[in-house]
Amino acid sequence: MPFSKPIRAVTLDLDDTLWPIYPTIIRAETLLHVWLAEHAPATAQAHTISDLRRLREQLGAERPDLAHDLSALRRESIRRALLVSGEDPALAEPAFDHFFAERQRVELYEDARPALARIAARLPVVALSNGNADLRTIGLDYHFVAAVSAREFGVGKPDAAIFLHACERAGFAPDEVLHVGDDPHLDVLGAQAAGQPAAWVDRGLHRAPEGFAPQLRVTDMAQLADRLGV
């Protein structure tokens, strides 16, 4: 195994590592628009689904202080759409709740659940995500000893601080904790900068940057479990 020390724990990305996030978000945004059409018709009429997505992206550019909190960013973008349309901004809360509930209805990759069970049976696993998935709602929380999110911690990947905090939650030094994720920059390079070995789950979603050298490259979680010998 290409590690300087034995791996004693794992920090694990969620979106696009255990499940594809894009179909989930598209479905949640579609149902959010349906909700707005019923409860805030002027907002729904004035904003297509694409308009609401662009508004969220625009707000993200204007509010870098919310970059680590995707829930707050989504909620504020809904509130802005309501205000522009002359409707009650307080509707942003139930509108977001509707979106958020649907966002938790993820469909795991076929390999993810059995491989996660294999890994978690042998090593402590800490979820480490910039997203806003709720593991308890999804029904995977029992596989994890802890969950670290950018929203709760205050900064997101690739900041070294969040990786180091996740290692603390795992109870081991960074060079003993393997970080696993799909994003070469956020996950692999971020973890390596924090002193962690990294495994790239390459599901074909990202192009590897020049000189990219993860300690492991796998195409799915089952292959990762095999490589870890669990």
Q: Where in the chain is the domain with CATH 1.20.120.1600?
A: 22-103
Residue with tokens 């809360």: 93
Summarize pLDDT for 23-57 with one digit per residue, the tens.
999 999 999 999 999 999 999 999 999 999 999 99
Ranges of beta strands (E only) in the chain are 9-12, 125-129, 146-149, 177-181, 198-201, 216-218
pLDDT band at 11 (very low <50, low <70, confident <90, very high): very high
Provide the mean pLDDT of the chain. Answer: 96
> Does the domain spanning 22-103 belong to CATH 3.30.56.10?
no
Q: Domain 9-20+107-228 adopts which CATH fold?
A: Rossmann fold (3.40.50)
pTM above 0.85, yes or no: yes
Mean pLDDT of 67-85: 95
Q: Which residues pair with 125 in a beta bridge?
A: 10
Q: Where in the chain is the domain with CATH 3.40.50.1000?
A: 9-20+107-228
Distance CA 20, CA 123 (A): 24
Summarize pLDDT for 157-211 with one digit per residue, the tens.
999 999 999 999 999 999 999 999 999 999 999 999 999 999 999 999 999 888 8
